[in-house]
Structure 1
Amino acid sequence: MTDNAQTEPAIFDNAVLEAAKVSKAWPFEEARKLIKRYPDGKRDATGALVPVLFETGYGPSGLPHIGTFQEVLRTTLVRRAYEVLTTDATGTPAPTRLVAFSDDMDGLRKVPDNVPNKDLLTANLGKPLTRIPDPFGTHESFAHHNNAKLRQFLDRFGFDYEFVSASDRYNSSAFDEALKNVLRHYDEIMAIMLPTLREERRKTYSPVLPVSPTTGAVLQVPIEVVDADAGLVRFTDADGSVIEQSILGGWSKLQWKVDWAMRWVALGVDYEMCGKDLTDSATQSGRIAKVLGGRRPEGLIYELFLDEKGEKISKSKGNGLTIEQWLEYGSEESLGFYLFREPKSAKSLHVGIIPRAVDEYWQFREKMPAQPVEQQLGNPVWHLLRTTGYRGGAGESLPVTFGLLLNLVGVLGAGASRDQVWSYLGNYVANADPAAHPALDTLVTCALAYNRDFIAPTLKRRAPAANEAAALAALDAALAGMPADAGAEAFQTVVYEVGKDEAFGFESLRDWFKALYETLLGSSQGPRMGSFIALYGLANTRALIAEALAV
């Protein structure tokens, strides 16, 4: 765990433990699958209690994105829920482990779009990812670079996990016995897989992919089992020569569905979730795991993330948000909040959803202490505070919403600075010191970046229509008679009164607010105007109105 470790106590009171047993929150629903799997806890051959093993998988053929990260977060949510459900009278939960498994022995099939030195990768297509030079020039291989990026962010968020590399397991012979087991059940595995394949693919399919002794590539060729107990197979190499070779010690890689099943059995995995696109893979891998003497893990089939065009996010396309991008424009907590909600529903994942996620996180966080315990267990914040050690506690609130902050920064322009924003926050926030409001200060930096890249280029104030100009003049006159510290509610009342005046001809207050946003802020949407006036300052707001009337 990192320094931002859990702030909540590890021992829960009886009310929480009882409510958890019947909570409909999805992490508890998933955790109950494990309770059913191991009613008396997971035990070894001697009867001793052993950790329930949670696993997440990562294919380092491309840079990690939020789709990769979310699987670790969501699995951890289930892990923590399971620990709550298994907490005994002494406050001790059943033991658990989380393995983040990198499938870095896989052969590179396609060069990703979002990496440098593509020619370097092209020259090494087909080779295991850990045996391909790093196009970024920072690590010993392409896989080592991508694995490091993943671990960097998992560590930043304070996840408790064990990193396991497929290449390490294959090369060190740790998987040798499991590979021999695959050869022993070769015919049974083929009987499972062949009916699922197209006729042309059946001719070349093999559960075991040998590594060519001449090119070093992972070969998609049929094999003949020579000696299962010795791990020997026969195959035709890329140059046409017939090779008899061991598949042990890093000289092979299992085909995807077989590899997944082998891993479940070899590691003893009890829980692993996956995306909807892997539903069939999970089914076939579960059948193969049974043949190998194991059991398919419990797990959640989650819906996929879509980009702003509605297309599936892909590592090779690089069309999803990176974790760096989210953290540049939004907070860590908001990312966790967005990933928590509705895992079985498809969700858009692009920069446009960040502001709302930030504000909704804080809304849920602020209201949690007043909720009965049953509702608290359905609150995403309750789970997040116990999952990755997010800073702070429930009940805290932001003095300014992120949406309002974005409107302020939008008016200040693309060249606004952090100090400038804080000077305006002094109109609205008691003790307007970044040190006193670290969460808000983080969002000031995020708002400046978001405005620079996405808001400022699109803002365009229009000239007011005649009736709108008259209403703006009336609003200015009303504001002129108010003290600068009148407050957001008083300013909001004046704005309402002007908009409701039939003399200005607005069909609804919505039309009046739309006019304010478009003429003063340059956007079709905006904040609660009373709050904006209090934040931006009375004199500054009147100057903004004067600019609009002068157009």
Structure 2
Amino acid sequence: MARNRSQVPTDWVTRAADEAIRHAGEGKPVTCASGASPSGPVHLGNLREFLTVHFVADELRRRGVEVRHLHSWDDYDRFRKVPAGVPAEWSEHIGRPLSSVPDPWECHASWAEHFKAPLREALAEMGVEMQEVSQTEMYRAGTYREQVLLAIRERAQVETILSRYRTKKAEDEAEADPAEDLSRFPYKPYCRSCGRDTVTVTSYDDATTDLAYTCNACGDSYVTNVATQDEGKLVWKVDWPMRWSFEGVDFEPGGADHATPGSSYTVGKDVVKIFGATAPSFVAYGFVGFAGMQKMSSSSGGVPTAADALRILEPAILRWLYVRRAPKQTFDIDFGPEVVRLYDEWDALTKKAGNPEKRDVAVLAWERASATAAVQLPIAKVRVPFRTLSSVADVTAGSAALISQVVSHVGFPHDDVADLEPRLAKAMQWTHEFVPAEDRTTVRDSPATERIAALTEQESGWIRLLLDGLADLGAELDQDAVTTLVYGVPKLAHGLSVEDAPTDEVKADQKSFFKLLYNLLVDADRGPRLPTLVVALGTEKVRSLLTN
């Protein structure tokens, strides 16, 4: 799917892809890397790590460049704390690799796998393909053994670099020999007895590569041979640049905190030279916040994940939220009323994208969001505005079949309920989960007898005109005809035709008539669009609620 680049507007993805090619060398394969620790739910903030790399790799594929999206699971990181909702006895696993901690929910092989699985499914739904690497497997297989030995041999140089960036130095640091300061040893084993990283290195023999340590948790002492045994890992600020070299990484993003003075990327740019490589091109990404998600359920602590968001957002729209902004820009994802506006904005952009003459950076973001180099993201065969679907879902209490029937009558004919997916399911879920109870439409079970008995002569006349008009329209109500009738009742009451322009007096009566209908149909002063409400309820239901 190579494209004529002279016709493509330039965005942050274009620029990052150009930088990745420059790093790799023109005509050479490109490696774009992401990384994450599966220590808990991979929330929507973490998702930026994956999608930033995905969009750059996908741009390169569109150009015909050989590229891989390599994702490292840092599942060899230590388990740091027991989160809320997890049995207190899991504290015994603190200090062990995430891949060695049991899954307290007993649905996956380990703690790490429990949090990887839902993210994999969500990424697949969004069209993200990546080559996954487990750091547990890499270290335990001895894959990095030569790199580990190199880092240990060059530990004095490593420590010189690291100390250069430390903001607070020990008083005797200047006098200490970096090669002999075992407290800053670049490699840390997991205890052979209890499996924790709570160890103190007590000696290291450069000739034999024997490393001795004592565990501060269980008290046991062991000797591990770094050249033949694989029982630990490099410390983070050495591990990351080591992997850049080993994997030949050309592009990798990171949180804005990674690019500050003394942070991982800043230090890594110098450390990676020890491994004979250069740091990849880098973009820092900003914070992603959440709003309107009080009821958002997820695996831990109510932090929304990609899987949670995909219950109410089409995959293309979730992708679009990330690609339309430069990575450094922060933003919030709002799961409240803002969702309706978001869908409207997406639909307007979709319409604009259909006109080649209007192709700009906004349309380019739409293109990146709606399809990858390989696949088109799912869209409804019949695209109904989200606000219409959610309104109808509200009025019909979430019956898909009834929603489908009403939607056909309000101007979106289709052959099957499936023609409305995936948007229909998203609208139903959003209405059920995120519309507050006080904002939902509750259709009356029986007529408001006291209010109907107290109708004025004018109000009674409005009701008669509406019911007569509905009877004339027949059993199958049409949205346009009902709209004309509802807005036309006050006109008819003033001796005008439904086609006449409303006078100021008619406009005032329309407001009063609409409020009356809301009071009698849903016991509220306002609600969904009245024509949609009337079509959803049907003539007989409306008649039963407007008469005693």
User: CA 1:11 to 1:267, structure 2 compared with 1: closer, same or farther past 3 Å?
Assistant: closer
User: CA 1:60 to 1:461, structure 2 compared with 1: closer, same or farther past 3 Å?
Assistant: closer
Is contact 1:461-1:519 (8 Å) kept? no
SS at match of 1:61: coil
Paired with 2:506 and 2:461, the residues of 1 have a C-alpha distance of 10
1:453 to 420, 433, 438: 433
1:297 aligns with 2:277: no
Describe how 1:56-455 pairs up with structure 2 within 5 A.
56-84=34-62, 87=63, 93-113=64-84, 116=86, 118-194=87-163, 195-196=165-166, 198=168, 205-219=184-198, 221=200, 225-227=204-206, 231-238=209-216, 243-247=222-226, 249-279=229-259, 280-308=263-291, 318-342=301-325, 343-352=327-336, 353-372=338-357, 374-375=359-360, 378-384=363-369, 385-387=371-373, 389-391=375-377, 398-413=382-397, 416-429=398-411, 431-434=413-416, 437-438=418-419, 440-455=420-435
Structure 2: 5+ residue runs without aligned partners? 174-180, 443-447, 492-501
User: CA 1:104 to 1:406, structure 2 compared with 1: closer, same or farther past 3 Å?
Assistant: same
Paired with 1:242 and 1:540, the residues of 2 have a C-alpha distance of 83
Describe how 1:11-30 pairs up with structure 2 within 5 A.
11-12=2-3, 14=4, 17-20=5-8, 23-30=9-16
SS at match of 2:354: helix
Is contact 1:233-1:245 (8 Å) kept? yes
Give aligned-pair identity as a percent: 21
Paired with 1:176 and 1:486, the residues of 2 have a C-alpha distance of 73
1:48 corresponds to: none
- Counterpart AA for 2:248: G
Paired with 1:493 and 1:24, the residues of 2 have a C-alpha distance of 50
Is contact 1:55-1:272 (8 Å) kept? yes
User: CA 1:319 to 1:187, structure 2 compared with 1: closer, same or farther past 3 Å?
Assistant: farther
Is contact 1:25-1:377 (8 Å) kept? no
Paired with 2:304 and 2:348, the residues of 1 have a C-alpha distance of 24
User: CA 1:184 to 1:458, structure 2 compared with 1: closer, same or farther past 3 Å?
Assistant: farther
Higher mean C-alpha displacement, 164-173 vs 294-303: 294-303
- Shift of the alpha carbon at 1:191? 2.5
SS at match of 1:123: helix
User: CA 1:522 to 1:455, structure 2 compared with 1: closer, same or farther past 3 Å?
Assistant: farther
SS at match of 2:539: helix
Paired with 1:487 and 1:392, the residues of 2 have a C-alpha distance of 28
Paired with 1:425 and 1:479, the residues of 2 have a C-alpha distance of 21
User: CA 1:477 to 1:11, structure 2 compared with 1: closer, same or farther past 3 Å?
Assistant: farther
User: CA 1:309 to 1:536, structure 2 compared with 1: closer, same or farther past 3 Å?
Assistant: closer
- Shift of the alpha carbon at 1:81? 1.6
Is contact 1:109-1:125 (8 Å) kept? yes
2:27 to 11, 18, 41: 41
- Counterpart AA for 1:410: D
Higher mean C-alpha displacement, 372-381 vs 72-81: 372-381
Paired residue total: 503
2:496 corresponds to: none
- Counterpart AA for 2:6: E
Paired with 1:259 and 1:182, the residues of 2 have a C-alpha distance of 9
Q: Deviations 1:345-397 (Å, cap 9, x if unpaired)? A: 2222353254444443333233312133742774333113125723468xx87
Is contact 2:61-2:373 (8 Å) kept? no
Paired with 2:534 and 2:365, the residues of 1 have a C-alpha distance of 31
User: CA 1:379 to 1:471, structure 2 compared with 1: closer, same or farther past 3 Å?
Assistant: farther
The TM-score normalised by the length of structure 2 is 0.77
Paired with 2:159 and 2:144, the residues of 1 have a C-alpha distance of 20
The TM-score normalised by the length of structure 1 is 0.77
SS at match of 2:291: coil
1:539 aligns with 2:539: yes
Q: State the Cα RMSD in Å.
A: 4.2
1:4 corresponds to: none
Paired with 1:260 and 1:110, the residues of 2 have a C-alpha distance of 23
User: CA 1:424 to 1:174, structure 2 compared with 1: closer, same or farther past 3 Å?
Assistant: same
SS at match of 1:381: helix
User: CA 1:108 to 1:444, structure 2 compared with 1: closer, same or farther past 3 Å?
Assistant: same
Paired with 1:125 and 1:236, the residues of 2 have a C-alpha distance of 17
Paired with 2:515 and 2:144, the residues of 1 have a C-alpha distance of 64
- Shift of the alpha carbon at 1:273? 1.2
Paired with 1:244 and 1:209, the residues of 2 have a C-alpha distance of 12
1:31 corresponds to: 17
User: CA 1:309 to 1:11, structure 2 compared with 1: closer, same or farther past 3 Å?
Assistant: closer
- Shift of the alpha carbon at 1:308? 2.6
- Counterpart AA for 1:426: S
Structure 1: 5+ residue runs without aligned partners? 1-9, 43-50, 88-92
Q: Deviations 1:219-242 (Å, cap 9, x if unpaired)? A: 364665432x86543444315666
SS at match of 1:67: coil
- Shift of the alpha carbon at 1:172? 0.3
